[in-house]
Amino acid sequence: MIFCTIGTQAPFDRFVKIVDEVAVHLDEEIIAQVYKSEYRAKNIKTIGFLPPDEFNVLFSKARLIVAHAGMGTIISALRQRKPIIIFPRIAALGEHRNEHQLATARKMQELGYVYVANNAEELKALLIQPDLKPHHDLGEFASRSLISDLCEALHKLTDGR
């Protein structure tokens, strides 16, 4: 099963329409949390709002997560070792307040943590791939290098007193 989520702040009809169009080429159930979408999907199951427990069940069952470039969703996918395709909202198209999702997508792609689709063709091409694997394992704890850097920064701050 593929689970798609757009978050709960605003509709993202462009995304839902693309996923719905490619669904006819897939032999797999697609469930999408679509929050106040005006687009009426024909080929995927859509749900307007999911309580957290139901959201988590679908998220855990999914083989693939496809989502807006929201950090909560990205972190959840990395923590659960789920492959994730992110499709950033574009403020210039009225999909968000600013272009922070484009910046998030660029950074996540640069780090090699996720699959990124920047347009309909890229999203469709990724969705039809049956064997996407997680790119990165986000552990429960901070890396040794991060802890070391934080300790060094704290020592500099306290030594300066």
Confidence (pLDDT) at 99: 76
**Range 2-136 has CATH code 3.40.50.12240:** no
- DSSP E strand stretches across 22-156: 30-33, 45-47, 64-67, 84-86, 115-116
What is the pLDDT at residue 100?
Answer: 79
What is the pTM assigned to this prediction? 0.83
Give bridge partners of residue 5 from the DSSP assignment: 33, 67
Q: SS3 sequence, 11-58?
A: CCHHHHHHHHHHHCCCCCCEEEECCCCCCCCCCCEEECCCCHHHHHHH
| Closest among 72, 146, 68, 83 to 114, alpha carbons compared | 83
Q: In what order do the strands lie in the sheet with 45-47?
A: 45-47, 30-33, 2-5, 64-67, 84-86, 115-116
- The confidence score (pLDDT) of residue 161 equals 53
pLDDT at 9: 76
Return d(Cα 145, Cα 92) in angstroms, integer: 38
Instruction: Specify the long-range contacts of residues 140-146, CB closer than 8 Å, at least 24 apart.
Output: 140/79
Give the SS3 label for residue 64: strand
Gap between the Cα atoms of 154 and 148, Å rounded: 10
Compute the distance between CA of residue 101 and CA of residue 99 in angstroms, rounded to an integer: 5
What's the pLDDT score for residue 142?
A: 66
Helix, coil or strand: residue 118? coil
Q: Which residues are registered as beta bridge partners of 2?
A: 30, 64
Low-confidence ranges of the chain (pLDDT < 50): none
